[in-house]
Structure 1
Amino acid sequence: MSLRNPHFFLAQRSASRRKVVYLLLLLFAGFSTSVTGETPQLRVYISVDMEGVAGVVNEAQLAPGGFEYEKFRRLMTAEANACIEAAFAAGATKVTVSDSHGNGLSLLPEELNPKARLIRSWPRPLMMMQGIDEGYDAAILIGYHASIGVPGAVRAHTMSSKRFFDVRFGGKHASEALLSAATAGHFAVPVVMVTGDDLAVAEAKKDISAKIEGVVVKRAIGYHAADSVSPQAARALISAGTKAALQRLKEFRPYKVAKPVKVEIAFKQMLNAEILAYLPIVERVDGATVSFSGKDVPEAIRFISFVSQYSNAE
């Protein structure tokens, strides 16, 4: 091409202008980010139960005084840490952990990752999901178990193995995973992962969402028996599952329950149904079952929390 061609110089001048504009745009973008201080936020809520922890099979691991309880408190905390650390590695900027087992005092605070917040003890209005709100992007359920309606599942129950025979929530037989998902869903937070035995994970996928990342740490043999992976293997599975779930966060949707929210609780002790029916807000459905209608999920969950704390086991 001839250097005397005026079109050549015009093309070169246009190219130079485009480069200058491009550089200015890059500079402005960087300046804007530094001025606003805005960084991507990923806030994760983790609810930790114990029956679904690798190796747990009976009360010897689950309650103070059990000869393996102190050991399994450490293993429960270690599974929580595997999830916490993986969440931060995946970009989490805030992690809150709920101790959701027994008396709410099973996780060991001194061994928990110090970057996480910890919610402990009972009673609390939102039970296993206390502290969750619209500020979170994802909820994860660690060490969960199946509901009483699942034959052969390890320690299968809903909220109280001693008090409740059945719990129905929003017209559906409810596991603790479903109650937790409904609570998170009220605040527009999706449950993205569940860990526990194979039957607990299968129930959560069926009742909440097939897209949930399921981490199976043991295969249920019966109510008090399981074929479990080692604690180390369980932690590796939880870490990988957490990262995988958070990497596909956009695929998940919150679990929603229609309002008003009807709760039905069937007791093992009929006297509980009789006494609760004294309240005008409670209907006695049959000898052992009561019904309550909450204006929304939190109100319905508060009713379950009250009843599970103060009903009689004998």
Structure 2
Amino acid sequence: MKVFISADIEGVTGVTSWCETRYGGQGYEAASRQMTLEVAAACRAAMKLGYEVVVKDGHEEALNLDMTQLPKGVQLIRGWMTTPASMMGGLDESFAAAVYIGYHSPEGSDASPLAHTIEHDLFNWIKINGELASEFLLNALWATAHGVPSVFLSGDDGMCRLAQKSHPGIFTVATKKGIGNAVWNIHPEEAVEKIEKGVEKSLEAGIGLMPIEKEYNMIINFKEHQNARRASWYPGAKQTDSNTVEYTAATPWELSVARMFMTEI
């Protein structure tokens, strides 16, 4: 039995400003340390139940987690595989569950000062079947395409609420709540404790796979019209106004491939 953990940093407790999310920035060392502690908590919970654990570092250059602080036996994937899997690189049909740590609200929402989807400077928003698309939603669809249920997420309160809406039954831990440019955080040790307990409960709950939709309509609103024009050249894509491109996929896998080529500017 295997569990896949996808880790980001903007949803980690205490992380408030963009400088804390970037290597060399003010507060980055503390943020990456807490990211590691929260991931380690999820690892311990899965290993306690007998699962093999694979972690994907999914932030920026994917070089944030301190492997020496993860439990012995955990496998860590660093860097990028340059595939549509993106933050789910390494996941396949052999995994029993997917867990998401440090996730954040999507671009176009107001629940976090760090709200974004993929690249903050590229998009005003991305929608899937009419709903704002978070990185969690995109990644959970990739998991669904491989028959892997998404069972747990930690991150800001807004992201937790969206995850519960798209994936009823998923376990969540809200590490903080965004208010304008501020973040109201729970204590780091409390976050670690809640994540460990939450992941254990989610793996014991036997959460099922989300149903496959008949189709996946993706609408991307770019900040710059030139990028919309470029994305419109992807086969099947249609530019609907100066900054917006639309594409409809038959499967989550097809959607992920289109997203990769349409958003890698």
1:96 and 2:51 are equivalent in the alignment: no
1:193 aligns with 152
1:245-288 Cα offsets, whole Å, 9 max, x none, are 11112xx2222342543322110111101122244432112111
Task: Please name the residue that 2:220 is paired with.
Answer: 265
2:246 corresponds to 1:297: no
Aligned position for 2:65: 107
**2: CA distance between counterparts of 1:279 and 1:246?**
39
Rounded to whole Å, the distance in 2 between the matches of 1:159 and 1:256 is: 24
Deviates more, 1:99-108 or 1:287-296: 287-296
Whether 1:86 and 2:86 are equivalent positions in the alignment is no
Larger Rg belongs to: 1
Percent of pairs with identical residues: 33
Say yes or no: does 1:149 pair with 2:108.
Answer: yes
Unaligned ranges ≥5, structure 1: 1-41
TM-score scaled by length of structure 1: 0.79
Aligned to 1:164: 123
1:90-142 Cα shifts (integer Å, max 9, x gaps): 221x1111111122222223333331222222333211111212211111111
Separation of aligned partners in 1, 2:28 and 2:92: 32
> Are the equivalent residues in 1 in contact too, given 2:111–2:156 (CA < 8 A)?
no
RMSD between superposed Cα atoms in Å:
1.8
Among 132, 138, 142, the alignment partner of 1:173 is 132
Equivalent-residue separation in structure 2 for 1:260 and 1:201 (angstroms): 25
CA contact (8 A) 2:234 2:262 kept: no
SS at match of 2:241: coil
SS state at 1:220 partner? strand
Q: Does 1:184 align with 2:143?
A: yes
CA contact (8 A) 2:13 2:175 kept: yes
Structure 2 distance, partners of 1:63, 1:306, is 25
User: Is the contact made by 1:193 and 1:245 (CA closer than 8 Å) also made in structure 2?
Assistant: yes
> 1:1-314 residue pairs with structure 2 within 5 A?
42-92=1-51, 94-122=52-80, 123-209=82-168, 211-222=169-180, 224-249=181-206, 252-309=207-264, 311=265
CA distance in 1, matches of 2:54, 2:214: 28
Q: For residues 181 and 167 of structure 1, what CA distance do their matches in structure 2 show? A: 15
Distance 1:124 1:103 in 2: 15
Residues 273, 142 of structure 1: CA spacing in aligned structure 2 closer, same or farther, 3 A cutoff?
Answer: same
Aligned length: 264
Q: Is the 8 A contact 2:6 2:56 kept in 1?
A: yes
Structure 1 residue 64 displacement after superposition: 1.4
Aligned equivalents of 1:152, 1:172: Cα separation in 2: 15
Mapped to 2, the partners of 1:254 and 1:185 lie a distance apart of 7
In the alignment, structure 2 segments of 5+ residues that lack a partner are none
Partner amino acid for 1:242? V
Return the structure number with greater strand share.
Answer: 2
Supply the distance in 2 between the matched residues of 1:119 and 1:67 (Cα, whole angstroms): 26
Whether the 8 Å CA contact 1:143–1:195 is kept in 2: the answer is yes
Amino acid at match of 2:6: S
Structure with bigger helix share is 1
AA at the equivalent of 2:22: A
Give the Cα separation in 2 of the matches to 1:70 and 1:95: 25
- Secondary structure at the aligned position of 2:174 is classed as strand
Distance 1:275 1:305, change over 3 A: closer
TM-score by length of 2: 0.92
